[in-house]
Amino acid sequence: MTLGERSTGGRTHVPSAAERQADPAAPKGRSSGRPSDRHGEILDAALELFATIGYRATTMSQIGDRIGIRGPSLYKHVHSKQEMLVEIMAGMMEELLRRQRAALDAGGDVRERLERITAVHVQYHAEHRYEAFVGHREIDSLEEPERSRILDLRREYESRFRELVQEGREHDVFGASSDRWASYAILDMGIGVSAWYNPSGSVGPDELAATYAEFAVRMLGAGEAEPAPRRSA
């Protein structure tokens, strides 16, 4: 909850990882201790370790421990440690882009759209803090060409913010200031959420997202025109 603790990567449990579209072959359904989705289980364990102690610091043996098997046994379900990272990071960026796209497709004026992609950005970083944290921190742990691929996705994601800020400024909805700096500021404050957000706290990701969307809009100098739509995407 403090800045210091934030940088630790969070210490509560990882949620999600059910909508990871990976696992194209294996059967779905975790919950009971049934044999099924070993691949998904392994990825979840890896994600939690990557997020809390880092990719390089995580050993195959530790990942195995989390699901009750030995390190070498992981290779029956996974090709390599690197491949796990690739799957996690690619899945994360694709999901983020998907949600951003949906937020934009919902239409509305510039200000509404900016609020919406900001809310989506923040909400994801709170709900999927481990994925987001790893996705942001471990890019350089990726080998080429995957690293460049992910970097391209990030650039695309980021450019949507910049374009919207620019559009708003050109239509005098937002005040003047560097579009790039403003969009970076919005992106970075959202990314920061993944480092300190506490899922067992009293506020939900959606409330946080709505507040940050307001921060963004105010930062850009767009006054409180209408009663400020509070929905959080």
Partner DNA sequence: CCTACCGATCGGTAGG
Spell out, one character per residue from 8 to 27, where the chain touches a second copy: x when CB under 8 A holds, - when not: xx------------------
Instruction: Please say which residue, 15 or 72, places its beta carbon nearer to DNA.
Output: 72
Per-residue contact track with a second copy, 179 to 218, x per CB under 8 A? -xxx-xxxxxx-xxx-xx-----------x--xx-xx--x
Q: Which does 208 bind (CB under 5 to 8 A by kind): DNA, a second copy, none?
A: a second copy
| Smaller CB separation from a second copy, 31 or 200 | 200
Is 72 a residue that touches DNA (CB under 7 A)? yes
Binding partner of 125, given DNA, a second copy, none, CB within 5-8 angstroms per partner class = none
**How far is the CA of 156 from the CAs of 20, 107, 134, 141, in angstroms?**
21, 19, 19, 20
Region from 52-60, 94-102, 117-125, 223-231 binding DNA, contact rule CB under 7 A: 52-60
Rule CB under 7 A: is residue 66 a binding residue for DNA? no
Instruction: Enumerate binding residues for DNA (CB under 7 A).
Output: 38, 57-61, 64, 68-73, 75-77, 80-82
